[in-house]
Structure 1
């Protein structure tokens, strides 16, 4: 979308020089202040992204408009205020914009599917490195519980000679995953609607990498962030009394799917690494190891078939 010139914006705003009448920098300042009061952890970033969504431009263009003294139209200023109010009520930013960035791709997301988080990008990177290092001419990667398709599609895009399968058993999430597969255009990725325990028997013993970001929150725990607690689907969050029910099933399914020497990658809570290493070792996995994320928290465990 081509943004109107500064002169055009001023004309649409009545030519006013009043900073309260819709100047981009003023709108951003008020939006960030409101988001700060609401407890949003990244108020300035969110304010810029909301204005960018309203204008149909990138965040960098919004920053440039703010520095140049550009004005928003009255309609755009009102729409921005409405979106800031929704974000202040802790509706996820991605639900408001309908988009979520993940590594090299952008995904459609909304109610009924887990919103991919930046910390999962590092976990996906471990699987991508393992898939890239596989000497097979067409290695196979499987994402168990793919949700929006974020991990599976990242594997497919970043390892284009691989075949990648995303497995999902939520009808709502599968719709998002299917749409994202079509939009991303990764012809080497396929989404499969099935239960995790029954997934892909035709691939038994041939898969190079299995990755999963399963539900791992214990039933008695309450997620800190309202965006997670109130808007992410419960099936994508809670993993039984100790949080590891789905992890146990992932271990069984992944052992069936992986070839000898294949790699399992699991995302989990920062206090669960020791339990998961013990669980995997008891199931016959080798070299179970837990890895820190970019903030130093132990959030991923790998093991070898």
Structure 2
């Protein structure tokens, strides 16, 4: 009698893979393990997080090719490689930005920094106000201003070769015709704009040199040049204050992202340099996140 062969195993349920992935992430200390599990499964399925949730409810099974692609990505995320490096993209406001090794991954808290810059730009009584993003990295703040205030002229500067590659890619990807990108150090960027800029924005390096970021995603994968800002973390802020005074016209605004304990020190720096009405704003977690001031 011929041997009876067992049927091949059925592909795993999407719901099971999401659950198992979230369990592994939680054990590895990944924040928001369930969210990351759903997003990573969505990536290999080429769908959205909502699409994964719907597939789980329906009892869909994972295609073999997708399950095979998922396994090494889960291993890498358990090593705390940023999710955005695995998917290749980072959401930022209405944008989806390409990111990877060599460029700082934009964080949700920077979205409110962009909002402060956008609000100041929209308030300018001009048909073509000018904004500058210094140390633009992935281009997040600059592209948010350019796309959400389309009548503005936006200029962005980045001086890291590795980051600049990503910036160029994102500018082309978004297709913001009103954005001009330059490979330049923030200290000397855009001398042709001196005295004409309405908004100077920046998310500079602000971690003190001897501080160790808690999250491995930051400590191990973000470029050091985008993190560390001197003994007190404020070296770049001091340069920004001086450069902002050069670039901004009277009444122009400077917007600087910083750490939650640095607001008072940055207000002192800006005020001592001659900026007026320095004020610190909180992000959605009620942490001091950005300081704004006005050029006299």
* Structure 2 CA distance for aligned equivalents of residues 195 and 212 of structure 1: 13
Q: Please state how far the C-alpha of 1:56 moved relative to its aligned partner.
A: 1.0
Unpaired runs of 5+ residues, structure 2, are 1-6
2:149 alignment partner in structure 1:
159
Task: Identify the match of residue 193 of structure 2 among 184, 203, 206.
Answer: 203
2:267 alignment partner in structure 1:
277
* Structure 2 CA distance for aligned equivalents of residues 202 and 264 of structure 1: 18
1:211-249, CA deviations, whole angstroms, 9 ceiling, x for partnerless residues? 010000000100011000000000000000110001000
Normalising by structure 1, report the TM-score. Answer: 0.93
Task: Identify the match of residue 216 of structure 2 among 215, 220, 226.
Answer: 226
* Structure 2 CA distance for aligned equivalents of residues 42 and 213 of structure 1: 24
Q: Please state how far the C-alpha of 1:15 moved relative to its aligned partner.
A: 7.5
Q: What SS is found at the alignment partner of 1:299?
A: strand
Q: What SS is found at the alignment partner of 1:118?
A: coil
- Whether 1:294 and 2:270 are equivalent positions in the alignment is no
Q: Please state how far the C-alpha of 1:81 moved relative to its aligned partner.
A: 2.1
Normalising by structure 2, report the TM-score. Answer: 0.96
* Structure 2 CA distance for aligned equivalents of residues 83 and 14 of structure 1: 25
Q: What SS is found at the alignment partner of 1:197?
A: coil
2:3 alignment partner in structure 1:
none
1:149 alignment partner in structure 2:
139
1:261 alignment partner in structure 2:
251
2:106 alignment partner in structure 1:
116
1:72 alignment partner in structure 2:
62
1:54-93 aligned within 5 A: 54-93=44-83
Number of corresponding residues: 289
2:207 alignment partner in structure 1:
217
* Structure 1 CA distance for aligned equivalents of residues 22 and 133 of structure 2: 37
1:86-116, CA deviations, whole angstroms, 9 ceiling, x for partnerless residues? 1010000000000000001000000000000
Q: What SS is found at the alignment partner of 2:133?
A: strand
Q: What SS is found at the alignment partner of 2:211?
A: coil
Contact 1:127 1:211 in 2 (8 A): yes
Runs of 4+ aligned structure 1 residues displaced above 3 Å come to: none
1:234-285, CA deviations, whole angstroms, 9 ceiling, x for partnerless residues? 0000000110001000111111000000000000000001100001000000
Task: Identify the match of residue 92 of structure 2 among 91, 102, 105.
Answer: 102
Task: Identify the match of residue 245 of structure 1 among 235, 247, 259.
Answer: 235
Q: What SS is found at the alignment partner of 1:22?
A: coil
* Structure 1 CA distance for aligned equivalents of residues 163 and 47 of structure 2: 28
* Structure 1 CA distance for aligned equivalents of residues 186 and 67 of structure 2: 46
After superposition, the CA RMSD in angstroms is: 1.1
Q: Please state how far the C-alpha of 1:171 moved relative to its aligned partner.
A: 0.8
